[in-house]
Structure 1
Amino acid sequence: MLEKLLKWDRDTFIYFNGLGAKEFDFFWSIITNITTWIPLFLLFIVLLILKFPKKEAFFKLMTVFGLVFFIITVTHFTKTWVGRLRPNNTEEINTLIRVLKSPTDYSFFSGHAASSFSITVLVFLFLRKKVKWMVLFFIWPLLFAISRIYVGVHYPLDIIIGALVGIFSGILFYKVYNRFILPYSGSIHPSREE
């Protein structure tokens, strides 16, 4: 079963990576770069500061930063424990694929997918009642995750599991915030945040 799943993962990766075209390489190389998204991170911060009282905004921002630290740590330990080579470092397929980036660490699961989905989910849950167009922010993790296949550094399962870890982590941190932090933020009663 695991063998069939890994074969599907490899074959699906080769297929989607092979759809890439040289004229789009620059675009996807920019999309996959974390620094490209700094303006979006700043927008998240500004929205939280503008939409909530100072103390509450501070606690929400600290929760987001705590989530980022958590995701980075979990991703690092999972990659080291699983030890799955990235496609660009796998000899049996790296001559068959398009490789635009060459990281040397491990593949499973995608830190890009986990971090982008977790941050977006948490910020969405914080702001969904105050900013009507918050759902548009999910364009970021979708593009960010897809870019990792395009540039040749992650298999589809890396992306899917990374996204699921991110989504569940964002929800978890939202619940932790409501249960343990919100009552001490001094602004609203916990039941009104739900």
Structure 2
Amino acid sequence: MLEEILRIDTELFLYLNNLGTSSFDGFWMFLSSKASNIIVYIAFLEFFLRRKGFKSYKIKTLDIIYIVFIVLVMILISDQSANIFKDSFQRLRPCYDELIKDSVRLVKEGCGGKHGFFSAHASNSFSLAVFFGLLFKDFSKYPIYFTLIFASLISYSRVYLGVHYPLDIIFGALFGMINGLVIYSVHERILKSFNLFNKS
């Protein structure tokens, strides 16, 4: 059963990976970079902080420090958990697998670490997507859709670039969503305990 699942996963990877063309390589490389997350989420926060419903809140320096801290903790948990899974399962990245590596369209320079299950990119992206989507849910119903679509694009970029199987992405995304939900729940408890994000 497991062998059949992995076979399908490999075939799906090769199909999706080889759909790529040089015309779009730059776009997917950018999405896979840290810069894309920074630029998009800064623009996202800037947009929603200017919305009428949010202007009734008096944002203090402590609030900003708190959000940065909780996001860093969330990413740290996501990254380290991915490393633990990679060391435990030791599933080779497709670009290291001797059986298929000659068929892999490797776009990025270098293949990264030897093992790929699960994807830290997918986990980090979906952690951020769920956390920020829920953070702004009281001001609009749309943020969660935007952040999840963006996270999906980032995650797919890892298959496009040739460094992760679809299952690496799926499990990374699931872990990330759980991580984002747990951290958001902790955030909600902290808000009830401390004087953060008060209305002016």
> TM bucket by the smaller chain?
0.7 to 0.9
In the alignment, what sits opposite 1:144? 154
Question: Could you give the per-residue CA deviations for residues 19-77 of structure 1, whole angstroms, max 9, x where no partner exists?
Answer: 11222222222222222332123235556876454244543432222111111111111
SS for the counterpart of 2:98 is coil
Q: Which of 168, 177, 185 matches 1:175?
A: 185
- Written as runs of structure 1 = structure 2, the 5 A alignment for 1:26-175 is 26-43=26-43, 46=46, 51=54, 52=57, 53-54=59-60, 55-101=62-108, 102-105=110-113, 106-134=115-143, 135-175=145-185
- The 1-side partners of 2:103 and 2:187 are apart by 46
Letter in 2 for 1:7: R
Instruction: Count how many residue pairs are aligned between Structure 1 and Structure 2.
Output: 188
Residue-by-residue CA offset, 1:106-138 (whole Å, 9 max, x unaligned): 100011100001011001111111245312222
- Structure 1 runs of 4+ aligned residues shifted over 6 Å read 47-50
- Per mean C-alpha deviation after superposition, the further-off stretch among 9-18 and 51-60 is 51-60
Alpha carbons 2:130, 2:147 under 8 Å: kept = no
The whole-number CA distance in structure 2 between the counterparts of 1:167 and 1:80 is 21
Check conservation: 1:48, 1:61, Cα contact below 8 A: no
Structure 1 alignment gaps of length 5 or more? 190-194
In the aligned structure 2, how far is the partner of 1:188 from the partner of 1:30? Answer: 33
Distance in 2 (alpha carbons) for counterparts of 1:47 and 1:133: 12
Native 8 Å contact 1:45 1:61 kept in 2 = no
The one-letter code sitting in structure 1 at the alignment partner of 2:21 is A
Match in the other structure for 2:9: 9
Moved more, 127-136 or 98-107: 127-136
State the TM-score, normalized to the length of structure 1: 0.86
Aligned partners of 1:155, 1:46: CA distance in 2, in Å?
Answer: 34
Task: Give the conservation status (yes or no) of the 8 Å contact 2:18–2:104.
Answer: yes
Q: Structure 1 residues 125, 86: closer, same or farther in 2, change over 3 A?
A: same
Q: Distance in 1 between matches of 2:71 and 2:174?
A: 17
RMSD of aligned Cα (Å): 2.2
Amino acid at match of 1:77: I
Structure 1 residue 103, shift from structure 2 partner: 2.5
- Stretches of structure 2 that go unaligned for 5 or more consecutive residues are none
Moved more, 133-142 or 69-78: 133-142
